[in-house]
Amino acid sequence: MKSDLYRKTKKDLPVPPNLGDYEELRKSFSWKTAEKELAWFEGKINAAYNAVDRHVETWRKNKVALYWEDEEGRKQQYTFEELARRSNQFGNYLKDLGVARGDRVFLFLPRIPELYIAFLGILKIGAIAGTLFSAFQEQALSDRLGNSGASVVVTHSSLLPRIEKVRHKLPELHHVLVVDHEAFAKELSKKDEELHIVHMDPGDYAFMLYTSGTTGKPKGVMHTHRAVVQEYETARWVLDLRDEDTYWCTADPGWVTGIAYEILGSWTAGVSALVYAGRFDPKRWYKLLEDYKISVWYTAPTAVRMLMAAGGALVRGYDLSHLRHMCSVGEPLNPEAIVWAVRTFGRPFHDTWWQTETGAICIANYPAMDIKIGSMGKPIPGLDAAIVDDSGHVLPPGTEGNIALKPGWPSMMKTIWKRPHKYESYFSGGYYISGDRGLMDRDGYFWFIGRADDVIKTSGERVGPFEVESALVAHPAVIEAGVIGKPDSLRGEIIKAFVVLTKEESDKVKVKAYAEKLKEELASHVKKHLAGHAYPREIEFIDKLPKTRSGKIMRRILKAREMGLPIGDTSTLEEY
Ligand code: WTA
């Protein structure tokens, strides 16, 4: 499969792609020139202005920017001008509250239009937007809001009780705005629709996202206004967005994809975008593709595999003839999914690779470039990627090593909030080390092999084992827990927990029915305290966890055991 080549034909390129000749552009490209495609104020910039307000001065003023639909079929739509005015009002509301440049304003909202409006409003006044998945529960919320020192949380009445629960732990949180409370909505509607949009230094913070590593609490990845330059260029080169498109990105803005390609990059490219606020459902998804005549679609491999599982026959009931270009991100896109897509939609998914930390697409398959099925493609123009060893030395083609990037791309994170040392630890030998292992072949295509650390990717979501372990240990029956990602044909990985119980409980779980009940209880405990999506789907009770002599849980041993693989070097292991 690895060498299978998907050659692009006329059918794949019904219109000439924005990026016609990849190799040519790579040679001639400079970010300095590319920056000129964005709107600047004498060396200053505002990403939200570029995404929305800039279009209001053009023929796009009355173009629909946002088509919104929820699970119940309620619909709304906003033109670029309406988004501009509404976000101005939001910005004014925040200003009147006393929110200043650099303050952190967090969004804990379902995927409703107010989420997008508020995000833009925050950036316009120079504050820093933070997004939170609506699946988050108390522990996840208090970690993120506490560390960021957010002074305002914008939420919805359905989520408010969770904020109330943690509020006493958050001395810096001064305001909780509930967008569907009538009093708030009324106040907001009275605010001025004009706003002075703050001209930011390109390196000033625009938004932050918490993401997980192997150890410790989630870390706040800081992104700047300059990121919009790369988000915009990649929206054009990789997603191939253009004015005629109706585009659907299925990601939530709690995830970097939802920010870069549902708000900043895609709107800067001026497209009409669909946001669907509902759960995954194959029929509904096909119906949305049909109803909105979606032409460009950006989704995740798990969703593609779930569509595959629902069967290709289902697709035939829908008119998907507008679909022109499809991309995916977040986890390996398996060759079968591409082959299935070609059979089913007549065109392939294009794999793209990037990370919360990289802020925008870094390695990708382009519309005009043949796909080596199973490969993530090639680095974007203006970015050098390489495979390096742990000291940052470049390795020759065909050798496995760390996927690494030469710093200097516009959307690179600026720092880790309050943890400068953590930020520095990403770099070695002049390279940014991604934490992913892979190789580059002789033609310059990159191939993903796996994570270098214990980070779990389940249904495309990045989950830190430590957070799940901490949530488990908070349950009275649990003494210790070790958490791994277990390969799963649908979800990429599922979360599996190995749990050491108290003496009393370990006697009780000898009765099978009791053991099953306790497993369910532990899973729902994690769901209730950490996040709806980050709970262990499998739990195994075990007497003892493998640990290093210094007491660190060796998850790689749990994983090897789970998968029946050799355990490898155990010289640092405590007797096991
Ligand atoms: C994984 C997502 C294989 C990878 C935008 C990376 C991928 C992590 C791919 C970042 C891909 C992302 N193939 N793996 N095309 N894209 N990943 O921060 O392990 O949620 O380091 O950002 O997802 O996840 P994050």
Q: In sequence order, what are the residues at sequence separation of 6 or more whose Cβ sits closer than 8 angstroms to the Cβ of residue 304?
A: 328, 333, 337, 340, 341, 349
pLDDT value at residue 501:
97
The b/e string for 240-260 (b: 16+ C-beta within 10 A; e otherwise) is bbbeebbbbbbbbbbbbbbbb
Size (the chain), residues: 576
pLDDT value at residue 403:
98
Instruction: Write the secondary structure of 112-175 as one string of H (helix), E (strand) and C (coil).
Output: CHHHHHHHHHHHHCCCEEEEECCCECHHHHHHHHHHHCCCEEEECCCCHHHHHHHHCCCCCCCE
pLDDT digits (tens, 9 = 90+) for 459-505: 999 999 999 999 999 999 999 999 999 999 999 999 999 999 999 99
Assess whether the C-beta atom of 351 lies below 6 angstroms from ligand 1: yes
Q: Is the pLDDT of residue 575 over 80?
A: no
Q: Give the distance (Å) from ligand 1 centre to CA of residue 452.
A: 12
462 Cα nearest atom in ligand 1? 20
Report which DSSP code applies to 575.
Answer: P
Assess whether the C-beta atom of 492 lies below 6 angstroms from ligand 1: no
pLDDT value at residue 365:
98
255 Cα nearest atom in ligand 1? 20
**Residue 359 CA neighbour count, 13 Å, CB half:** 29
- By the 8 A CB rule, do 366 and 238 touch? yes
pLDDT value at residue 151:
98
Helix count and strand count (H, E) for the chain: 20, 28
Which uninterrupted H or E stretch holds 231?
helix 227-237
Assess whether the C-beta atom of 297 lies below 6 angstroms from ligand 1: no
Q: Give the distance (Å) from ligand 1 centre to CA of residue 355.
A: 5
Nearest-angstrom CA–CA distance, 225 and 118: 16
- By the 8 A CB rule, do 83 and 96 touch? no
At residue 205, φ and ψ (nearest 5 deg) are: -65, 140
Q: Which of 238, 354, 451 to mutate to test the pocket of ligand 1 (most atoms within 8 A of CB)?
A: 354
Closest protein CA for atom 23 of ligand 1: 330
Assess whether the C-beta atom of 354 lies below 6 angstroms from ligand 1: yes
Closest protein CA for atom 13 of ligand 1: 332
Assess whether the C-beta atom of 411 lies below 6 angstroms from ligand 1: no
pLDDT digits (tens, 9 = 90+) for 47-106: 999 999 999 999 999 999 999 999 999 999 999 999 999 999 999 999 999 999 999 999
Dihedral of CA 401/407/411/413: which sign?
Answer: positive
pLDDT value at residue 295:
98
Q: What percent of the chain shows pLDDT beyond 90?
A: 93
At residue 483, φ and ψ (nearest 5 deg) are: -120, 135
Q: Give the distance (Å) from ligand 1 centre to CA of residue 448.
A: 10
Amino acid 154 reads V
Nearest-angstrom CA–CA distance, 367 and 389: 31
355 Cα nearest atom in ligand 1? 22
Q: Which of 352, 355, 439, 454 to mutate to test the pocket of ligand 1 (most atoms within 8 A of CB)?
A: 355
Closest protein CA for atom 7 of ligand 1: 331
Q: What percent of the chain shows pLDDT beyond 70?
A: 98
CB count, 10 Å around CB of 439? Answer: 19
Nearest-angstrom CA–CA distance, 450 and 437: 5
Q: Is the pLDDT of residue 572 over 80?
A: no
Nearest-angstrom CA–CA distance, 318 and 320: 6
Contacts 24+ apart (CB under 8 A), 505-509: 505/477, 506/541, 506/543, 509/541
Task: Classify the phi-psi angles of 448: left when phi > 0, otherwise alpha if psi is within -120 to 50, otherwise beta.
Answer: beta
Nearest-angstrom CA–CA distance, 354 and 211: 13
pLDDT value at residue 1:
41
Q: Give the distance (Å) from ligand 1 centre to CA of residue 352.
A: 9
Nearest-angstrom CA–CA distance, 433 and 209: 19
Q: Give the distance (Å) from ligand 1 centre to CA of residue 462.
A: 8
Instruction: Write the secondary structure of 182-200 as one string of H (helix), E (strand) and C (coil).
Output: HHHHHHHHHCCCCCCCCCE
pLDDT digits (tens, 9 = 90+) for 277-326: 999 999 999 999 999 999 999 999 999 999 999 998 999 999 999 999 99
Domains of the chain and CATH, by start: 5-446 (3.40.50.12780), 453-563 (3.30.300.30)
More confident position, 533 or 493 = 493
Assess whether the C-beta atom of 219 lies below 6 angstroms from ligand 1: no
Report which DSSP code applies to 52.
Answer: I
Nearest-angstrom CA–CA distance, 522 and 505: 13
Task: Look up residue 179 and give its two tokens.
Answer: 């967008």
- By the 8 A CB rule, do 305 and 327 touch? no
pLDDT digits (tens, 9 = 90+) for 367-389: 999 999 999 999 999 999 999 99
pLDDT value at residue 48:
99
Average pLDDT value over all residues in the chain: 95
Nearest-angstrom CA–CA distance, 470 and 142: 14
Rounded mean pLDDT, 356-363: 98
The b/e string for 5-36 (b: 16+ C-beta within 10 A; e otherwise) is ebebeeebbeeebbbeebeeebeeeebeebbe
- Strand 296-299's sheet: what is its strand order? 75-79, 64-70, 272-277, 246-249, 296-299, 325-329, 349-353, 363-364, 378-379
Q: Give the distance (Å) from ligand 1 centre to CA of residue 492.
A: 12
Closest protein CA for atom 10 of ligand 1: 355
pLDDT value at residue 3:
53
**Residue 290 DSSP SS3:** helix
451 Cα nearest atom in ligand 1? 19
Q: Which of 353, 363, 365 to mutate to test the pocket of ligand 1 (most atoms within 8 A of CB)?
A: 353
Q: Is the pLDDT of residue 568 over 80?
A: no
Assess whether the C-beta atom of 457 lies below 6 angstroms from ligand 1: yes
Q: Report angle CA 347, 15, 272 to the nearest 5 degrees.
A: 85
Nearest-angstrom CA–CA distance, 498 and 558: 8
Assess whether the C-beta atom of 330 lies below 6 angstroms from ligand 1: yes
